[in-house]
């Protein structure tokens, strides 16, 4: 809980939502991250890094993360800065700059920490690592399919097998609302209910609208458009506008491309997902895994973000939440360490022994015997311990 009261800090305390990563978790993260980034590189995406701090007026405003979730600070000139709340907006800033000279498509990737202040209670980090990709300058459904197929491949390489991807299209619900309701304001009310996941409120609201029972039924049916690709046919019957039919056509194309990648087993169609990320313009998706209460990743197409950085270009991508993925994997990893305990007269011998082990990629601790209080307790955590003490080498 946040309090406005300035209280005395205990020396062990950290700001709300900030966590330390201790050795065991660090090992798991490193291993998982390596599996993921290797796979991403294997698909020809190139990794980049961007600064942790950005201007509020550029990246902060365009990031689509709620304003109250931004960490803000002032630089010495008085500009408002933000700790980057996501990686998509910074990458758009870089990719829209002259650096890439319009050489599109670009395949870029990142593995970086992002920052979002938390209003609720604990259990949610305010700083967390995201691994993701952006495919910039390609508006085809092949690009969307490539990004989703890569994400599946990355998750499998990380060791996750039981997961589902809900895939929808921001344009379908919008077009259906426009067809049935006629004006934007009335459509916004319904979209708000979907965004809040409030199906009860949605149904109540529709019930009270001055519409024919057929039109009401069309709006009710939207809530049931979840399942396999066959739901697209049901969805088609509800609409007649070009915009709505185009969005369904796009989904069908992506789906059949994903059949070629042989990953459709992981997919679920869901035509009423509405993301908190307001910059999505087309297909969008969320990834779920067993034993983790929150989505482990999401993504989609965002064709208008680049305009904000003065260079229009279509783009699509995904971001995975590394800590949540690790929670879903439920693995532990311990570094295997060896220890060389030496006395000062045999230091040279000990160093050359340790150097040899290190050259064959072993992790070796060198410890002066006089620096340890309790040898038995100290040596417990090592897989192997060698002693260079007294007149000859002993191995235990």
26 binds another protein (CB under 8 A): no
Question: 388 vs 249, 362, 370, 378, 396, CA distance in Å?
Answer: 72, 18, 12, 16, 11
Of positions 42, 57, 188, 199, contacts another protein by CB under 8 A: 199
| Angstrom distance (rounded) from CA 145 to CA 219 | 29
Query: Taking CB under 8 A as the rule, does residue 19 contact another protein?
Result: no
Size of the site for another protein (CB under 8 A): 23
| Cis amide bond preceding 382, omega within 30 | no
Q: Which is nearer to another protein, 107 or 321 (CB)?
A: 321
| Among 54, 270, 340, 350, interactor with another protein by CB under 8 A | 270
Site string for another protein, 105-134 (x = CB under 8 A): ----------------x-x-----------
Q: Does 164 interact with another protein (rule: CB under 8 A)?
A: yes
Which residues in 213-242 contact another protein (CB under 8 A)? 226
The single-letter DSSP state of residue 8 is P
Q: What stretch of H or E contains 143? A: helix 141-158
Q: Which is nearer to another protein, 15 or 123 (CB)?
A: 123
**Cβ–Cβ under 8 Å, residues 148 and 165:** yes
Cα 272 to chain centroid distance, Å, stands at: 21
Q: What is the separation, in whole angstroms, between the first and last Cα of the chain? A: 51
Interface with another protein, residue 159, by CB under 8 A: no
Considering the complex, state which of residue 44 and residue 228 has its C-beta at the smaller distance from another protein.
228
The minimum distance between CB 290 and another protein, in angstroms, equals 6
Decide: residue 179, CB within 10 A, 0-12 exposed, 13-18 middle, 19+ buried: middle
- Using CB under 8 A, pick the residue from 1, 5, 103, 200 that binds another protein: 200
Smaller CB separation from another protein, 159 or 201 = 201
C-alpha pair distances (Å), 78 with each of 60, 73, 83, 310: 16, 9, 16, 25
**293 near another protein (CB under 8 A):** yes
Binding mask 68-87 for another protein (x = CB under 8 A): --------------------
């Amino acid at each position: 809980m946040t309090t406005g009261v300035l209280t005395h800090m205990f020396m062990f305390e950290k700001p709300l939502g900030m966590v330390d990563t201790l050795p065991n978790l660090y090992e798991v993260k490193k291993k998982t991250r390596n599996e993921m980034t290797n796979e991403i590189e294997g698909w020809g995406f190139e990794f980049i890094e961007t600064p942790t701090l950005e201007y509020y007026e550029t990246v902060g405003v365009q990031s689509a993360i709620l304003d109250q979730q931004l960490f803000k600070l002032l630089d010495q000139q008085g500009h408002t800065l933000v700790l980057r709340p996501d990686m998509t907006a910074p990458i758009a800033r870089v990719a829209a700059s002259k650096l890439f000279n319009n050489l599109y498509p670009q395949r870029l990737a990142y593995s970086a920490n992002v920052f979002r202040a938390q209003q609720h209670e604990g259990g949610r980090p305010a700083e967390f690592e995201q691994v993701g990709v952006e495919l910039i300058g390609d508006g085809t459904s092949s690009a969307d399919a490539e990004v989703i197929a890569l994400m599946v491949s990355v998750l499998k390489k990380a060791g996750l097998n039981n997961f589902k991807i809900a895939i929808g299209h921001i344009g379908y619900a919008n077009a259906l609302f426009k067809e049935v309701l006629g004006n934007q304001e009335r459509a916004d009310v319904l979209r708000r209910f979907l965004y809040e996941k409030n199906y009860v409120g949605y149904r109540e609201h529709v019930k009270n609208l001055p519409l024919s029972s057929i039109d009401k039924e069309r709006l009710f049916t939207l809530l049931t458009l979840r399942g396999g690709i066959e739901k697209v046919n049901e969805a088609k019957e509800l609409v007649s506008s070009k915009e709505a039919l185009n969005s369904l056509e796009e989904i069908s194309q992506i789906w059949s491309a994903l059949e070629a990648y042989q990953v459709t087993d992981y997919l679920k169609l869901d035509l009423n997902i509405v993301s908190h990320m307001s910059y999505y313009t087309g297909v969008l998706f969320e990834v779920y895994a067993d034993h983790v209460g929150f989505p482990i990743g999401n993504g989609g197409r965002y064709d208008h973000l680049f305009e904000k950085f003065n260079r229009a270009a279509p783009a699509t991508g995904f971001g995975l939440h590394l800590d949540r993925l690790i929670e879903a994997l439920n693995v532990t990893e311990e570094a295997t360490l060896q220890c060389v305990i030496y006395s000062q007269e045999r230091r040279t011998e000990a160093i050359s022994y340790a150097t040899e082990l290190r050259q064959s990629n072993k992790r070796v601790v060198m410890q002066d015997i006089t620096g340890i209080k309790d040898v038995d307790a100290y040596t417990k955590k090592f897989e192997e311990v060698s002693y260079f003490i007294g007149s000859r080498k002993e191995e235990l």
